[in-house]
Structures are given as C-alpha cells and as structure tokens.
Amino acid sequence: MTIRKLFLLPGDGIGTDIMSEVKKLIDWMNKELGTGFEIDEGLVGGCAYDAHGAAISDSDMNKAMAADAVLFGAVGGPKWDKVPYDSRPEAGLLRLRKEMELFANLRPAICYPALADSSSLRKEVIEGLDILIVRELTGGVYFGEPKEITDLGNGQKRAVDTQVYDTFEIERIAGVAFELARTRDNRVCSMEKRNVMKSGVLWNEAVTNIHAQKYSDVKLDHMLADAGGMQLVRAPKQFDVIVTDNLFGDMLSDIAAMLTGSLGMLPSASLGSPDPISKKRKALYEPVHGSAPDITGQGKANPIAMIASFAMCLRYSFNMTKEADIAENAISDVLQNGLRTADIMTEGNKLLTTSEMGDAILEQLANLSK
C-alpha cells in the first residue's frame, strides 16, 4: 500500500478545533478507502513558543521537510502579543515557507451556489465563480534589499523597499500557473504594472517567453494589475487562472476571496519546486483565516476552509482528483442542504457546531464515495 506522509500543525486558537474535523476525514479515508495516510503532529506558533521557546522547533521543522504534505491550522493570539519578535507565532509559518521554499501560493475563489446570496456583489455576477489566483510568495518587494528606514538628519526619514525579480523566479511561478490552467479551463491572465515598473516589464517579457516555449496550448492574456483589481470586482467570472507577483497577489487574492463570503470558507496551498528525483513538490495547505481567539473552543469555528485545504492537498500533493472532487462536492451539498456554522448562518437554515459541521461533511463524503 502507498504510504502518504502527512504532518499536521494545528497551531493555536481555532487551529486545533478545525484540524480535529480534518482528522475525522483522514481516519475515515484510511479505514474505508485504504488511503494509507500516515499522520504525525507537531506544534507551531504560540503553543510551540510555550513548549520550546521558538515558534517551531528544529525537530518539527525536520518533520515538515520530510513529509509529503503539511496541513497547517492557524497561529497567534493575545497571549503571545508580547513575545520577542523573532519568536512571535507568525515566525513559525514564515520559517516553514522559507525553508520549504514554497514560492507558489494558490488561492481559489469559488462561489458555492448555496452562498451566492451572501456576497457583497450581485448574485448573477458571482454565481458559479471558480477562479484560482497564483501568487509568487518568496520574492518581490517583501524580501528585496535594500529594505530600510534611514534618518535624513533634518527631521525627515526615508523608507525604502525594493521590488526585485529575476527571470527564473517569474518563469517558475508562470510555469505553475500554466500547468494548473491545463487542469482547468486552460486560460491564464498575468497581471503586473509594466507601464510604470521595470519589474513589470520583465515580468511581462518572461511570462510571454516561457508561454511561447512550453505552454502555447494555454490561452494567455496580460492585464495591468490595477485594471485587474477593477475587473475582479466588475466581472470576476471572466478569469480562470490569474498569475501575479507577491505584492499584487497579496491584494488581488484577498479581493477575490472576499467576493465569495466568509473567511471561514477560504482554503489555500503553498507549493515548492518538484524534487528532481521523486518529482514531488514540498507543500503546505492552510485556511486563509487566523486563529480567531474570539471564538476558540466554543464550537463556533467553521471547519470548511480547513477541510477544503485538505481537499487541495488530495488534489495537488497526491493526485487524488476523484477524492478531492468528492470532498469539495460534499462541502457544497451540505451547504445546499441548509446546514451552516454561525459565521455563514442565515434565516431558515440550520445552525451547527464545528464538530457537527465536520460530521455532516464526512457523512456526505461517505455517501458520495459509495
């Protein structure tokens, strides 16, 4: 039997609440479908700081590096607001992203039919939305040097951030976007600001070149990132896959995500380069939301973003397309049946706790797997 190594890092706050629901699914799949998931679990964030004085221990970092995929809950909370900067809860996530070299961040924005009414946009604009934003995650202005604030000595200061991209960084993120597009509607829209930024000129050139060399079967469009933001709100369904840099991707993926309603619904994946021998990519899957200390342990957390992140893991790390489709359809069906956690509750529907929602999705997954 294939062994599939999963390393779970539930983290803080509702991270543990929602990870428990994914564990139910994994246990069921192992028992009923023989999926062979081998699970190990570690600490990240504030709980890791309490246990080891660091946001992730070297030993857990090594386990993350050795796993086929990492499932990450959420980190942070008021208890750790005053810990030293280098040990703050987010430092655990940043270390994972850096050492696993997770350069591609995938953020789907899907509008479940049952929730089309809860978007801030009109139902007809949003219904049936299924787009994927591919954001470059390890380069660009968040990491470029120099990055400093200088005292000019005359009561003024100067702040500098540096937007910097090399050709290979643009080509490898574009490659991920083109490959994913081939599994979807085969269309990529690349967004940059070539009208005012040199990095935008190179971005456009490198995406165009790699497309011509290796991916000419995929339809490629280019759009200025500001126009892209407008189009995402005006007519989001025109897009299939959007590829963009770290800064624009940060903003555009949040815009796209919120088109679809609650934070509790949004999954994400971060992928690295394929290993030259095994061809497997390092990968981390996490919900977009944080640790929600305001609702921790009260049965109010929506586990859907975490479960949908696990579905992405099935799809992208294990090529289990059928099982991923079933998990996503189970989520959609449960919503269609009027079952809701508090964050997405509307009149006439049935309110469930975190664990009841996990059970309902598992029950539907079992039905659909028959």
* Residues with catalytic roles: 142, 193, 226, 250, 254
Quote the least distance from Cβ 134 to ligand NAD, whole Å: 18
Contacts of 127 (CB under 8 A, 6+ apart): 111, 113, 116
Contact residues for ligand NAD, defined by CB under 6 A: 14, 74-77, 93, 263-264, 289-295, 301-302, 305, 343
* Interatomic CA distance for residues 213 and 368, integer angstroms: 41
Give whichever of 32 and 294 is closer to ligand NAD, judged by the CB atom. 294
Q: Is 166 exposed, middle or buried (0-12, 13-18, 19+ CB in 10 A)?
A: exposed
For residues 150 and 131, is the Cβ–Cβ distance under 8 A? no
Contacts of 140 (CB under 8 A, 6+ apart): 163, 164, 165, 199, 245, 246, 247
Quote the least distance from Cβ 212 to ligand NAD, whole Å: 37
Give whichever of 295 and 312 is closer to ligand NAD, judged by the CB atom. 295
Q: Which of 245, 290, 271, 249 is nearest to 109 (CA)?
A: 249
Percent helix, strand and coil across the chain, each rounded to 5? Answer: 50, 20, 30
State the amino acid at position 105 in one-letter form. Answer: N
Element (H, E) at 230: helix 225-234
For residues 305 and 331, is the Cβ–Cβ distance under 8 A? no
Buried b (16+ CB within 10 A) or exposed e, 131-158: bbbbbbbbbbbbebeeeeeeeeeeeeee
* Interatomic CA distance for residues 218 and 189, integer angstroms: 10
Tracing tokens 């003024």 back to the chain, one arrives at 156
Quote the least distance from Cβ 314 to ligand NAD, whole Å: 20
* Interatomic CA distance for residues 191 and 278, integer angstroms: 32
Quote the least distance from Cβ 115 to ligand NAD, whole Å: 14
Give whichever of 174 and 306 is closer to ligand NAD, judged by the CB atom. 306
Give whichever of 46 and 228 is closer to ligand NAD, judged by the CB atom. 46
Quote the least distance from Cβ 279 to ligand NAD, whole Å: 28
CA torsion sign for 136, 142, 143, 146 is positive
Give whichever of 76 and 175 is closer to ligand NAD, judged by the CB atom. 76
Quote the least distance from Cβ 28 to ligand NAD, whole Å: 21
Quote the least distance from Cβ 17 to ligand NAD, whole Å: 8
Give whichever of 210 and 292 is closer to ligand NAD, judged by the CB atom. 292
> For the chain, what is the largest distance between any 2 Cα atoms, rounded to a whole number of angstroms?
73
Give whichever of 164 and 263 is closer to ligand NAD, judged by the CB atom. 263
DSSP calls for 40-69? EE---THHHHHHHSSSS-HHHHHHHHHSSE
Quote the least distance from Cβ 204 to ligand NAD, whole Å: 31
Six token digits for residue 209: 């070149």
Tracing tokens 């959609």 back to the chain, one arrives at 332
Give whichever of 17 and 333 is closer to ligand NAD, judged by the CB atom. 17
